[in-house]
Structure 1
């Protein structure tokens, strides 16, 4: 007789979703404003800013899998993953504040400061976000509920987008503009993300308890080499990593350059927060439909078809003359609204890859497998930011000036053409992803049979 499948309550799912708010606030803040803040408020070269993102990702290539392994082998009264969320959240809030508070000193010192703080931010983000995302498979063993949990946490990108893309610039203006406005705004956001992660950590108290729910306490601990093999032998995970990386290159390029596009190409900076606000109801509908579509056509197909659809509004932006501003505006809204059907669905696919790794190798490494996707999340964002910064810099961009035709053309390329290329590579990668709903149910059944046999052998 099959064991009861462990599941979460509605209250636990809602509280866990708050981690999505805490995670997305600094992510979207940096994606939308860090380059603009550093180039137009502080005065740092866009090429230097682009290099910053790349260096941090090189460090992440080492620290992310290490953090996954450390979290997997943690045993504490707070659980395996919760202590990192609880104690790391306030530190993440502090370094986020520091990112938007560059001291008034020489240009070289400012560049050094932002490099140090951003690398520190990246490290602390790793410490908090890998355990946070690792809790998704811990909260439930049911495949459909995991989709609901992943959808709930990614849905919190909607209020995060409302806060960041719609409210940040008005908040900066209300609090005095310039550096003073950014200081006050970043403090409020740092406090908000900290509280959000604390609410999230409270949701997993019943589940993240090694003594009750960690079947690995029946087995010896595994080495770093064995844990890393969970990634290399996991074809579905590798395909998601490629798909998400190229998707994030696409979306981060749009996010990083959007304010430049509305400011300099369209001459309507006021439309930037408005398009985010208008997109919110459509994004909410997309999130509501996500669990249904995932059950109906499969998570992989949601990602695949969403990526195909995402190309269409970008083509409109690429070829529409600037005088048809409201057509461009509508396409920008649609680009934002389609987000849940592209990158967000990947987080619902990740727990299935954790199960696949255990089924394939006999090793369950929630943290290590999760770290692969959190690293890709940061790598794709960095590559999009790097390409954006380099292309913007070599095109002759000068902050707060009328831009040359070459610069304006580069902004269009970064905003529309580069994302189209990213989505195309995502589509290709997803063609090789074979872990559908039926296969996953088979994996869960076999894993339970193995665990019953293991318990019987140890009794």
Structure 2
């Protein structure tokens, strides 16, 4: 495949649908699983945080190996597409088990949560690592990659919108409690399966048996030794900077998302505004998504990321000191935070594709899934840390499910909801100063990779 190959518009659209389905279940778990466990399954916040930490650490350790396995896959359906086609039904099934509340003793509830969460997280990796790995495979044009990632993140945002706006009403429609959550999860899981299948269809031109056969001509790229495959990570300085920034930001965002429903229910007393926040925030963020390719072309990815973090910090700081009575102000500023979010949220997924090129430039190995697995690896470690921080700090502050909260508990919810993302943005800004893939370096990488591949074609 030439380094200048581009994807068709229809392929980009179908591929982006995978982001919609992926975010349906991702948002369902990150936004509501802790609430489901504490208020429906009746597990203490500290125990829930411990479950999140244990499972995420186990799961995160496995992600790089799943990435290497995906990179080595050779089938009649391609390298990455079969994982989407056959893994998505398993992901749907595990999510159903995740939002089930069998009648068990207190200790057995914890064992059940650990077992099911491990299964869910493992299957999620088997599907989502190959999904994200397809981005640099679809197109070798850096400018089109920005469009591809923006499209899939926009679709993912619409998936988040659907969950955030419809999950609680759909749960109520099905009868609330365990029954409501089960049938709500079932409905969204079916949509997720369909979205991944459409995604696999969109990637067919770039990931198929013919492409596999071409890669097989170069055995080094097709099945490199494990030690050499790991070098695409160890020799990738820009990837390290990106992962540190992503880890800090994701940890803070997980803490924020886990405590959002608590803030609107207990601090503000307007649980209905929780759904409205995501509806308006997502709809109004669409222009921000559409502007990303222009901003990146005009100013560069690094500058856009840093500036977007800085301007998002301002409303968060104001919210941190806002009185609970100022509901209109709190809601408006919270929507603004959601509107600004895509500018910093999309860019790391664009830049990870550049890190794939950097690894290939340094080692000659095309390890897209391996490198993307590192992004998911840090995201899951961040989710583990964020989950246990949220649960532990809520428990320490005296949170009790379903009751009027103490002043200490309300203050802790506020800090977790607003202060955590501020700290995450600050650390991410510092880390991004060490990201070294400039437009000049990117042009040099593309030229030398192209020359190397043309030489390989001549030799073969």
Give the Cα–Cα distance (whole angstroms) in 2 for the partners of residues 430 and 274 of structure 1. Answer: 33
Q: Distance in 2 between matches of 1:118 and 1:225?
A: 31
Residue of structure 2 aligned with 1:440, choices 435, 442, 450:
442
Contact 1:247 1:342 in 2 (8 A): no
- Aligned pairs (5 A) from 1:17-416: 17-209=16-208, 211-212=210-211, 214-215=214-215, 217-220=217-220, 221-416=223-418
Structure 2: distance between partners of 1:156 and 1:56: 28
Shift of 1:8: 0.8
Distance in 1 separating the partners of 2:2 and 2:430: 38
Q: What are the ranges of 5 or more consecutive residues in structure 2 without an aligned counterpart?
A: none
> Does the aligned pair in 1 maintain the 2:243–2:375 contact within 8 Å?
yes
Aligned-residue RMSD, C-alpha = 1.5
Query: SS of the residue aligned with 1:353?
Result: helix
Q: Distance in 2 between matches of 1:104 and 1:189?
A: 24
Residues 271 and 226 of structure 1, relative CA distance in 2, 3 Å threshold: same
SS in 2 for 1:323: coil
**Do the aligned residues in 1 keep the contact of 2:262 with 2:413 (CA within 8 Å)?**
yes
How big is the shift at 1:224? 2.3
Cα gap change, 1:210/1:448 in structure 2, threshold over 3 Å: closer, same or farther? Answer: farther
SS in 1 for 2:66: helix
Contact 1:31–1:252 (CA<8 Å) still a contact in 2?
yes
Q: Shift of residue 215 of structure 1?
A: 4.2
Match of residue 429 from structure 1 = 431
Q: CA deviation at 1:212?
A: 3.1
Instruction: Work out the CA distance in 2 between the residues paired with 1:136 and 1:224.
Output: 23
The answer to whether the 8 Å contact 2:149/2:349 transfers is: yes
Equivalent position SS for 1:153: helix
What is the TM-score when the length of structure 2 is the normalising length? Answer: 0.96
Counterparts of 2:234 and 2:216, CA distance in 1: 21
Q: Give, in whole Å, the separation in 2 of the partners of 1:192 and 1:137.
A: 25
Report the Cα offset of residue 382 of structure 1.
2.3
- Give 1:216 deviation, angstroms: 6.1
Say whether the 8 Å CA contact 2:51–2:110 is kept in structure 1: no
Partner deviation per Cα, 1:15-56 (whole Å, 9 max, x = no partner): 000110121111111111000111111110111111122112
Separation in 2 of the partners of 1:338 and 1:236?
25
